[in-house]
């Protein structure tokens, strides 16, 4: 029987904002099942009682609130819960995961071309960037590593030159597209990570920005990673009416 998860009762979890609930579901699936299950299967640790119970409780809350059940992250949650249930029942199963394999010589040449060839570009041509490229770039940002798989990053895409003025920068932008990487601090607060690992919010944003720049380079686009201060944060929050937790 699960009374509380991260200090929150079932009733409190049922009222929690969706972003924080998703983060707790991800984290409990990751740490409560994914991290330990492979060590258990290899005989390196004993199986705890009711493996995956917290993730099951959270998924039931997610379903009760009629939130999407067929997204890739929820399918990942369900797969981990299924493995935990089989392990609890003493069944054997195949995780279905493959170990990394060395790239071929030609694949490695492409990887090196991307990693070693990328440069920070600060001048851009007056040519439109199609939506499909932006989608590829944003997906790369979403697929970047982050602590505990909390899914806290949010992206704002600015195409309007007037909106670029919201961002204080020493690099004047005449043409192009600006992508702002935001963090939803509520996610870290719900998990108590703002106290336990306050640096993660910056690391997680940085990995997203790096993946964004790499994908832009692979698509033949120039990109430059910029940081900003409190004035820019305030302008963006006010203009887009974002909560103070962004």
The per-residue pLDDT for 196 is 87
Radius of gyration of the chain (CA): 21
Q: Which fold has domain 105-240?
A: NADH Oxidase (3.40.109)
CA atoms within 13 A on the CB side of 23: 24
Mean pLDDT of 112-135: 95
Tokens for 209, please give them: 């920005």
Q: Tell me the per-residue pLDDT of 39-74, one tens digit each, with 9 for 90 and over.
A: 999 899 999 988 999 999 999 999 999 999 999 999
Residue ranges covered by each domain of the chain? 4-88, 105-240
pTM to 2 decimals? 0.88
Q: How does pLDDT run across 127-166, given as a tens digit for each residue?
A: 999 999 999 999 999 999 998 888 889 999 999 988 988 8
Q: Taking a C-beta distance cutoff of 8 angstroms, is the pair 27, 191 a contact?
A: yes
Residue 198's alpha-carbon distances to 80, 101, 126, 189, 220, in angstroms, are: 28, 34, 40, 10, 35
């Amino acid at each position: 029987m699960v009374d509380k998860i991260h200090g929150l009762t079932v009733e409190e979890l049922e009222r929690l904002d969706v972003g924080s609930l998703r983060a707790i579901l991800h984290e409990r699936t990751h740490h409560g099942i994914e991290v330990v299950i492979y060590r258990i299967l290899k005989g390196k640790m004993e199986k705890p009682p009711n493996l995956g119970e917290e993730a099951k409780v959270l998924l039931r809350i997610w379903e009760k609130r009629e939130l999407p059940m067929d997204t890739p992250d929820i399918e990942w949650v369900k797969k981990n819960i299924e493995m935990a249930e089989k392990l609890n029942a003493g069944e054997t199963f195949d995780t279905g995961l493959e170990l990394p394999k060395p790239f071929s010589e030609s694949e490695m040449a492409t990887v090196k071309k991307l990693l070693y060839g990328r440069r920070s570009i600060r001048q851009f041509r007056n040519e439109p960037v199609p939506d499909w490229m932006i989608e590829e770039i944003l997906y790369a940002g979403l697929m970047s590593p982050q602590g505990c798989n909390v899914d806290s990053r949010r992206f704002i895409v600015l195409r309007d030159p007037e909106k670029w003025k919201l961002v204080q920068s020493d690099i004047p932008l005449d043409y192009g597209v600006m992508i702002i990487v935001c963090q939803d601090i509520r996610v870290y607060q719900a998990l108590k990570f703002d106290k336990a690992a306050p640096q993660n919010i910056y690391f997680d944003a940085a990995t997203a920005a790096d993946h964004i720049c790499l994908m832009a380079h692979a698509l033949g686009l120039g990109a430059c990673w910029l940081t900003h201060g409190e004035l820019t944060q305030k302008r963006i929050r006010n203009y887009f009416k974002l909560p103070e937790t962004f």
